Amino acid sequence: MIKMSTNVIEIKGLNLWYGENQALHDVNMQVKRNSITALIGPSGCGKSTLLRSINRMNDIIDGCRVEGDIMFQDKNILAPETDVMALRKKIGMIFQKPNPFPMSIKDNVTYGPRLHGVTDRESLDRLVEECINKSALWSEVQDRLGTSAMSLSGGQQQRLCIARALSVNPEVILMDEPTSALDPIATNKIEDLAQELKKDYTVVIVTHNMQQASRISDYTGFMYMGKLIEFDETEKIFENPSEELTERYITGRFG
Amino acid sequence: MRNRFHADLDALTEEVIEMGNLVCSMLDRSVTSFANGDREMADWVLAHKDEASRLDSLIEDESLRLLVLHQPMAGDMRRIATILKMITYIERIGRYAKNISNAAIDLMESGEHKPMPQISIMGAVAIEMVRDSVMAFETSNVKLVDDFGTRDDELDRMRYDYLRTALAEMKACACNVDTYTSYLMVARYLERCGDNACKIAEKVHYMVTGKRIEIR
Amino acid sequence: MVDGKEQINRVKTRVIMGRTVHEDDLIKYGLMAVASLAVVIVLGIIGLIAEGSMMAVRDIGLWNFLNGDVWRPHREQYGAYHLIVGTLLVTIGAIVIALPLGLGAAIFISELAPKRYREPLKLVSEVFSGIPSVVYGFFGLVVLVPFLLNNVPGATAGQSWLAGSILLGIMALPTIISVAEDAISSVPTSYREASLAMGATRWQTTSRVVVPAAISGISAATILGIGRAMGETMAVLMVTGNAPIFPEPLTNLMSPIRTITATIAMEMKEVAYGTTHFSALFLLALVLFVIVLLVNTISRVIMRRMREKFNPTKPPKIRSERFIVVQEKAAHMFQLVRYAVMMGVIWVIVELWFGADAAMGAVIAVIVLIIVTRYTDPRWNQRLAHGILSLVMLVVVGLLLIIITDIVSNGLPALSAEFISEFPSQGGRGGGIYPAILGTLKLVIGTIVIAVPIGVVSGIYLSEYAKDTRWTNFIRGGIDNLAGTPSVVFGLFGMAAFVIYFDFGVSLLAGWLTLSCLILPVIVRTTEEAVKRVPKELKEASLALGATKWETITKVVLPAAFPGVITGTILSIGRAAGETAPIMFTAVVAYQTRLGDFSVTDPVMALPYHLYFLATEVPDAYDNQYATALVLLIIVLSIYAAATFLRYHYSKKINW
């Protein structure tokens, strides 16, 4: 049964508190299938917090409280009975600083499938090749899958992390400032990769680099002080935003 | 760095306004010189034509520099896009002013000059349009150019009227041909100034509202 | 203004003997002289031990010594095989107990415990490490041994291999817990996040990512634990039964057994200078030293390979397909071996108490459990795993509580003002321990005065001045190894060098010198490490302002390293106060009814030795034994508490 609704994720009335501080105020947003949605805004505006709410990674932070709905596959993933482990299989995450495990390249990619019970050597090998291929890394590592992932460059490590995220066959890929720690050439490769990935997956990317958002995303959301100020097609946001706050941020008049 | 950029952008805006005002002056004086036979005015316009050119190149270079270095977005981006097109139109208006002045001088030197109040009236409309379009840019107020469609139509009508008058006069006496040919050309120039003012108005509209319009 | 500028620009030189010398160089040579003293001591110890064993090598022959299985010195039979095996067996037993408990506790503390319990739990384990080994031995003798005698079916004596391993295991716990916990909590959070983001449970993350990532630290912990166990003297002396035999059958945990360290300690006092027996003991010490050296070297190699794995400095070697396949097969085999060992251990332990049938049952149950957990919901597995870990933590804390409660509850009633201020009487059964307390104090103060300045200066020299040459690395290696050398070896050395050779006799002076040698390597090492940990940016900032190296050291580096240095020093002092073996034959006497005038050539009483004496040679002294143990415990734990407090206090002030 394939749901072909255009909205993969619908966020309704999301409020979030870290202890006493409210970090997200009544956020409403829809993420469209097979698109790249970018979240921009000044530091501390809540964009990473919003991203991490989508795969419930905020759960590991003490004192974090959430209200509202996040609909994914017809279910509210914030409901207490949600199988968070299974959710994270379908919504993967790439972090700002590349964080491959201190294992071999191959073991990094097979970690996820192994977690969920896959043991057949051949299927694992095939999966490894497929995922590393999809992250445009195969030609660089195909003859050294057994070597440590730590011996790769920063950009390669990040692509390996993407391959690792793909290994559990997600629907959505969340990227939290994936290129801030990388040089321009590596950044370029990751951006091209994101464009490729959106054909089969849906991508939500948090970035503090507006040029990056304008380069690669289809939709952009501008956040400020925990509120989603404006959300629209990227071209509209960067050519002629509706909100004055958005315009001021984009033209660099604050932040 | 952004503050520096905005300061530069403001300075650039000032220069565009300066160029616009200069060209307005040129147009005004050239029309006066043609209508009233004022040699001094015409000479003044010719003396300042290079200034308009200079400003055009200067503003273009500066705009490209800001684009390359600062990759402006939203309102800032629209402003620079508008400026780049505007200066072309303004420069063209400046050239028309020069042409009108030259025509005036030719007529005065050949001794065939006759006062032409109709040119003054037409000139006034065109000058007003140019002035308003520059003012709209300066104040980001599109209300000033709301009625440009109407005014442009009026210019067209006046020119057409003038054409008929001129043709009649030329048929009446072959001695009038030189003079009235000049008058027709000047009318044509003024009508073109109006067109360019409309184009400026369209761009200013985009700059302020983000929407593209066409003034017919 | 001009004056100040001149001051700053004045190059700091002096003219000595007609040559201009820079201040920094002067200091460097001064430090080097002091550090050389430490070097001399290190080399001296190794050299003397080696030299002392030469006679035995000549008379007995190295092969016979190592291979012979009869150790009867009065019949001139010196076969150390059983002693070596005894040491190994007791150590293996200790690790089998300490590793699962220690690792489990470490994982519990760093992964499971709520944040505010982490420090207190770590503190608990550190208290463990402060308890002197003679107190453990005492507890073992008085509580553990009778317990085993009464509860192990078919046991004829409580003093056994098992008793020794249990005690050693408990003693190795703090080392393993602290190093392993450090390693586990140093694993970057980003790994945990990456794992959780893929849908792993916390337990899956801990077991599949965090623990493997910390494996180098955990290995280091294990090996340090092994070193600790191997070098232990007093506890094994008191509870293993000291029969130099091979357990029959190999799995007979209740067999008595004897270690190398116990042998040296026991026979040192009967031996005459210059005899083969005397030399044989030195040879034993040398063998022990070599074994410990081997263990340390292996650990260093493992650590280096692990570090390469994490932060590769060289491009990876591309291995052939076949190699990778072989490597994977080897990893599989290693897994199987680990499981086999685990089964074997479970069998042996259960069989001891409940017989062979129960043992079989237990092994099968465990195998079934392992297979089942492969298929059950990871969340159930997590609950099971967390439950087991909590149990382990409870056991560890419980063990400490049992020991401390026992000593406090039995010692407190016997403690009184008279006890502390009176001399012993009735051979120790009555009276007090005043001279022992005084003696310990004298020993400790003298040791501080000698060892701390030399140690700290040498540590500074090694970390700030010494170049990275083969010679300095050799010295560092020597110091490192000595820091891990069993204390009984120092006792032997002290006896040979200070008591006999320099003819100080059994005296306070000899005790000072011996104890100084004991703690010197540790002080040097902790100083060096504390200084190294000061971020080099600070040093660079100071130098960039024009300060000399020495000014940088005194004004910037030392203040910053101060907490580490002080803590290390205080811990060493605690150790010096609680050690028995080094002073057994160099400084102490068992019984003094009065004190004469102060003289460094007189022997003293000391608390650790007095406890040993009372526990092993004075029956019916129950009250005094416990009271002595309590006093010793209080003194040593206070010193450790002071060190911990200081460290905590300073770590709040300085955050790098």
Neighbours of B176 (CB within 10 A): 17
Asked if residues A23 and A49 have their Cβ atoms less than 8 Å apart, the reply is yes
Q: Do A95 and C194 touch (CB under 8 A)?
A: yes
> In chain B, what percentage of residues exceed pLDDT 70?
100
Q: Do A143 and C318 touch (CB under 8 A)?
A: yes
Q: Do A251 and B73 touch (CB under 8 A)?
A: yes
In the predicted model, what is the mean pLDDT of residues A58-74? 91
* Residues in chain C, total: 656
List chain B residues with CB under 8 Å of A232: none
Q: Is B214 domain-assigned?
A: no
- Span C440-494, pLDDT tens digits: 988 999 999 999 988 888 888 888 877 777 877 777 777 877 878 888 889 888 8
Higher pLDDT, C28 or C237: C237
Asked if residues C542 and C556 have their Cβ atoms less than 8 Å apart, the reply is yes
User: Is the pLDDT confidence value at A77 over 90?
Assistant: yes
Q: Which residue of C has its CA nearest to A110?
A: C198
Q: Is C107 domain-assigned?
A: yes
Res A139: pLDDT? 94
In the predicted model, what is the mean pLDDT of residues C505-517? 90
- Span C238-253, pLDDT tens digits: 999 888 888 877 778 8
Q: Is B216 domain-assigned?
A: no
Res B24: pLDDT? 95
Per-residue pLDDT band at C565 (split at 50, 70, 90): confident
List chain B residues with CB under 8 Å of A214: 73
Asked if residues B79 and A239 have their Cβ atoms less than 8 Å apart, the reply is no
Q: Do C309 and A111 touch (CB under 8 A)?
A: no
User: Is the pLDDT confidence value at A102 over 90?
Assistant: no
**CA nearest neighbour of A38 among A220, A224, A222, A250:** A220
Average pLDDT of every residue of chain C? 84
Q: Does A151 touch chain C (CB under 8 A)?
A: yes
Here the tokens at position C47 are 């050299």
Q: Whole-angstrom distance between the N-terminal and C-terminal Cα of chain B? A: 41
What is the pTM (predicted TM-score) of this model?
0.79
User: Is the pLDDT confidence value at A1 over 50?
Assistant: no
- Span C584-643, pLDDT tens digits: 888 888 777 777 777 778 888 889 999 998 888 888 888 888 999 999 999 998 888 888
Which residues, other chains included, contact C630 with Cβ-Cβ below 8 Å and sequence gap of 6+?
A: C407, C408, C411, C412, C414, C415
User: Is the pLDDT confidence value at A255 over 70?
Assistant: no
Q: Is C171 domain-assigned?
A: yes
List chain A residues with CB under 8 Å of C319: 146
Per-residue pLDDT band at B13 (split at 50, 70, 90): very high
- Can you give the residue range of the structural domain that contains C303? 53-315
Q: Is C501 domain-assigned?
A: no
Burial class, B109, CB count within 10 angstroms (exposed 0-12 / middle 13-18 / buried 19+) = exposed
Three-class SS state of C272: coil
Closest approach of chain A CAs to the CA of B72, in angstroms? 7
Higher pLDDT, B1 or C77: C77
Partners of residue A202 on adjacent β-strands: A172
How many secondary structure helices (H) and strands (E) does chain C include? 29, 6
In the predicted model, what is the mean pLDDT of residues A41-65? 92
Q: Is C195 domain-assigned?
A: yes
In the chain, the amino acid numbered A92 is G
- Span A193-202, pLDDT tens digits: 999 999 999 9
Q: Do A251 and B72 touch (CB under 8 A)?
A: yes
Of C380-394, C551-565, C639-653, the range with the highest mean pLDDT is C380-394
Q: Which residue of A has its CA nearest to C314?
A: A151
Neighbours of C294 (CB within 10 A): 10
> In chain C, what percentage of residues exceed pLDDT 90?
16
Q: Does A48 touch chain B (CB under 8 A)?
A: no
User: Is the pLDDT confidence value at C652 over 70?
Assistant: no
Q: What distance separates the 2 farthest-apart alpha carbons in chain C?
A: 93
In the predicted model, what is the mean pLDDT of residues A6-17? 94
Lateral strand order in the sheet of A91-94: A91-94, A172-176, A202-206, A36-40, A219-224, A227-233
**CA nearest neighbour of C586 among C518, C516, C520, C511:** C511
Res C656: pLDDT? 44
User: Is the pLDDT confidence value at A141 over 90?
Assistant: yes
Here the tokens at position C115 are 């944040």
Residues in A 178-217 with any Cβ partner in C closer than 8 A:
none
Q: Do B210 and A251 touch (CB under 8 A)?
A: no
In the predicted model, what is the mean pLDDT of residues B165-178? 85
Q: Does A147 touch chain C (CB under 8 A)?
A: yes
The domain spanning residue C78 has which CATH number?
A: 1.10.3720.10
Res C372: pLDDT? 84
Q: Do B73 and A253 touch (CB under 8 A)?
A: no
Higher pLDDT, C24 or B40: B40
List chain A residues with CB under 8 Å of C197: 55, 57, 88, 92-93, 95, 165
Closest approach of chain B CAs to the CA of A49, in angstroms? 26
Domain count, chain C: 1
In the predicted model, what is the mean pLDDT of residues B180-207? 94
DSSP calls for C354-408: HHHHHHHHHHHHHHHHHHHHHHS-HHHHHHHHHHHHHHHHHHHHHHHHHHHHHHH
> In chain C, what percentage of residues exceed pLDDT 70?
93
Of A173-177, B138-142, C553-557, C631-635, the one with minimum mean pLDDT is C553-557
Cβ density class C15-31: b for 16+ within 10 Å, e for less:
eeeeeeeeebeebbeeb
Res C309: pLDDT? 67
Asked if residues C443 and C604 have their Cβ atoms less than 8 Å apart, the reply is yes
User: Is the pLDDT confidence value at A205 over 80?
Assistant: yes
Res A72: pLDDT? 95
Q: How far apart are CA A227 and CA A87, in angstroms?
A: 25
Q: Whole-angstrom distance between the N-terminal and C-terminal Cα of chain A? A: 46
Q: Which residue of C has its CA nearest to A148?
A: C309
Neighbours of A73 (CB within 10 A): 12
Res A60: pLDDT? 84
Residues belonging to chain C with any Cβ–Cβ distance to chain A shorter than 8 Å:
115, 188, 190-191, 193-201, 204, 208-209, 212-213, 309-312, 315-319, 324, 327, 378-379
In the predicted model, what is the mean pLDDT of residues C15-34? 70
User: Is the pLDDT confidence value at A215 over 70?
Assistant: yes
Q: Is C118 domain-assigned?
A: yes
Per-residue pLDDT band at C569 (split at 50, 70, 90): confident
List chain A residues with CB under 8 Å of B74: 238-241, 246-247, 250-251
Q: Does B67 touch chain A (CB under 8 A)?
A: no
**CA nearest neighbour of C508 among C596, C393, C619:** C596
Q: How far apart are CA C654 and CA C641, in angstroms?
A: 20
Q: Of the candidates A211, A214, A240, which has its C-beta nearest B210's C-beta? A: A240
Q: How far apart are CA C551 and CA C538, in angstroms?
A: 13
List chain A residues with CB under 8 Å of B209: 240
User: Is the pLDDT confidence value at C21 over 70?
Assistant: no
Q: Is C654 domain-assigned?
A: no
- Span C182-215, pLDDT tens digits: 888 888 899 999 999 999 999 999 999 999 888 8
Q: Is C391 domain-assigned?
A: no
Q: Does A60 touch chain C (CB under 8 A)?
A: yes
- Span C402-438, pLDDT tens digits: 999 999 999 888 888 888 888 887 777 777 888 888 8
Output DSSP code: residue C423. Answer: -
Domains of chain A: 7-250 (3.40.50.300)
Q: Is C392 domain-assigned?
A: no
- Can you give the residue range of the structural domain that contains B36? 2-209
Here the tokens at position C299 are 């650990």
Q: Of the candidates A100, A111, A151, which has its C-beta nearest C315's C-beta? A: A151
Q: Does A116 touch chain C (CB under 8 A)?
A: yes
Tell me the torsion sign for CA atoms C24, C26, C30, C35: positive
The domain spanning residue B54 has which CATH number?
A: 1.20.58.220
Q: Which of B71, B73, B77 to mutate to test the interface with A (most CBs of A within 10 A)?
A: B73
Q: Do C197 and A88 touch (CB under 8 A)?
A: yes
Per-residue pLDDT band at B194 (split at 50, 70, 90): very high
Cα angle value B97/B101/B103 (rounded, 5°): 115
In the predicted model, what is the mean pLDDT of residues A146-170? 93
User: Is the pLDDT confidence value at C1 over 50?
Assistant: no
List chain B residues with CB under 8 Å of A211: 71
Per-residue pLDDT band at C16 (split at 50, 70, 90): low
Three-class SS state of A29: strand
Closest approach of chain C CAs to the CA of A27, in angstroms? 23
Per-residue pLDDT band at A156 (split at 50, 70, 90): very high
Label the pairing between strands A227-233 and C13-16: unpaired
Neighbours of A133 (CB within 10 A): 14
Of A148-157, B21-30, B73-82, C430-439, the one with minimum mean pLDDT is C430-439
Phi, psi of B82, deg, nearest 5: -60, -45
Res C298: pLDDT? 82
Res A131: pLDDT? 96
Which residues, other chains included, contact C47 with Cβ-Cβ below 8 Å and sequence gap of 6+?
A: none
User: How far lies B59's CA from each of B8, B26, B73, B94, in Å?
Assistant: 11, 19, 19, 15
Q: Does A250 touch chain B (CB under 8 A)?
A: yes
Closest approach of chain A CAs to the CA of C190, in angstroms? 6
Per-residue pLDDT band at A94 (split at 50, 70, 90): very high
User: Is the pLDDT confidence value at A122 over 60?
Assistant: yes
Res C19: pLDDT? 62
Res C13: pLDDT? 62
User: Is the pLDDT confidence value at C373 over 90?
Assistant: no
Of A35-49, C72-86, C296-310, C574-588, the one with minimum mean pLDDT is C296-310
